Amino acid sequence: MANVLWLQGGACSGNTMSFLNAEEPTVVDLVTDFGINILWHPSIGLEIGDQVSDLMKDCISGKIQLDILVFEGSIVQGPNGTGTMNYFAERPMMDWFKELAEVSQFVVAVGDCAAFGGIPAVPPNPSESTGLQFLKKDKGGFLGKDFVGKSGLPVINLPGCPAHPDWITQVLVAISTGRAKDILIDNYHRPKTFFTTFTQTGCPNVNNFAQKIDGGFGKRGGCLFYEVGCRGPMTRSSCNNILWNRTNSKTRANHPCLGCTEPGFPHNDLEKGSVLKTMKYLGIFPKDVPTGESHLKYYIRAGWEKVLPVNKTLTESSK
């Protein structure tokens, strides 16, 4: 049994939509079968007005035990560190969040904005947004690098734009069923279960990647790395193993992976002409190479493979 409070900061509600789309288990299953008691959620909570602020005050005072504080969206600190750009229940949301995080057993950041600042934190960052415990790759964020919840764990980050529903429900279930010790996290506080392999793992275009056969946005067959900016080889996610809607993924549908589970998202900071395009040196060499490869070695090997006179076989996605 776990009491869950879900709040939103600088958010688009995309992670809420993802959560409500959960299938195995559904959100209803979480409540009926997995001991999740949703104290309040902005979209499905019944309480309004003072009822919500009273509930939060009861959590802060300890009258209601707060087991899991889920936060969606960035922490808005603007203008000038006051947080008044994001008011909630007559206070800056960041003030509510800080006091609630201090009494919560677990704090879970859902989505890239809560984890790392995401799109709101792109320079010049007018809302002074940050993630809960990271600002992009830098540890610290709003709560500071030493923050741990009452359970002893730091913020658990479930990045993604949005996070996959299974990533959210599995972590909530692990906590509510007393298996929180199974949640092993990486350097960016992401559960290793979901964020050890790369988006590329399970992508039907890997043969094309290896053979250096170009694909194109929305075009069947070919790899999206060389021209349209696919970040599958640099992005840790399980998107091609735990499929979306149990059916598909971006790269299976021939849309490049945007790297939304990495702290650098949005990569190239949404500069004009940088979206769905491979950034290159000298118009030839991809600026970003697969994680773990040295640039020079990759360029030599890939250049050789690209011009190799072998029979290349185009593989098409079945989706």
Place of tokens 């790269």: 251
Residue 205 CB, nearest approach to ligand SF4 (Å): 4
Out of 209, 212, 266, 302, which residue is the one contacting ligand SF4 (CB under 6 A)?
209
Nearer to ligand SF4, 66 or 203 (CB): 203
Q: Does 19 bind ligand SF4 (CB under 6 A)?
A: no
DSSP letter assigned to residue 198: B
State phi, psi for 120 to the nearest 5 degrees.
-60, -25
Q: Does 168 bind ligand SF4 (CB under 6 A)?
A: no
Q: Does 15 bind ligand SF4 (CB under 6 A)?
A: no
Directed axis angle between helix 93-103 and helix 50-61, to 10°? 40
Nearer to ligand SF4, 53 or 248 (CB): 248
Out of 261, 263, 288, 289, which residue is the one contacting ligand SF4 (CB under 6 A)?
261
**Contact (Cβ atoms closer than 8 angstroms) between residue 227 and residue 278:** yes
Out of 250, 263, 267, 286, which residue is the one contacting ligand SF4 (CB under 6 A)?
250
Chain Cα centroid distance, residue 144: 19
Residue 216 CB, nearest approach to ligand SF4 (Å): 11
Out of 83, 92, 117, 160, which residue is the one contacting ligand SF4 (CB under 6 A)?
160
Residue 114 CB, nearest approach to ligand SF4 (Å): 15
Binding track, positions 179-208, relative to ligand SF4; x by CB under 6 A: --------------------xx--x-xx--
Out of 70, 100, 257, 289, which residue is the one contacting ligand SF4 (CB under 6 A)?
257
For the range 16-20, what are the long-range contacts, defined as Cβ-Cβ under 8 Å and sequence gap of 24 or more? 16/41, 16/42, 16/43, 16/72, 17/162, 18/160, 18/162, 18/163, 18/164, 18/165, 18/168, 19/110, 19/165, 19/168, 19/169, 20/44
Binding track, positions 272-291, relative to ligand SF4; x by CB under 6 A: --------------------
Nearer to ligand SF4, 52 or 223 (CB): 223
In angstroms, what CA-CA distances link 158 with 9, 92, 178, 256?
Answer: 16, 24, 19, 21
Nearer to ligand SF4, 83 or 259 (CB): 259
**Contact (Cβ atoms closer than 8 angstroms) between residue 205 and residue 196:** no
- The answer to whether the Cα torsion of 281, 236, 306, 218 is positive or negative is negative
**Which of helix, strand or coil describes residue 206?**
helix
- The answer to whether the Cα torsion of 79, 81, 85, 90 is positive or negative is negative
- Please work out the total of residues on this chain that contact ligand SF4, with binding judged by CB under 6 A: 25
Binding track, positions 214-233, relative to ligand SF4; x by CB under 6 A: ---------xxx----x-xx
Residue 311 CB, nearest approach to ligand SF4 (Å): 19
Residue 187 is encoded by which pair of tokens?
């350097």
CA terminus-to-terminus distance, the chain: 40
Nearer to ligand SF4, 94 or 224 (CB): 224
Residue 267 CB, nearest approach to ligand SF4 (Å): 10
CA distance 36 to 316: 42
Q: Does 163 bind ligand SF4 (CB under 6 A)?
A: no
Q: Does 154 bind ligand SF4 (CB under 6 A)?
A: no
**Contact (Cβ atoms closer than 8 angstroms) between residue 5 and residue 101:** no
Name the site residues for ligand SF4 (rule: CB under 6 A).
Answer: 160-161, 199-200, 203, 205-206, 209, 223-225, 230, 232-233, 235, 237, 239, 249-251, 257-261
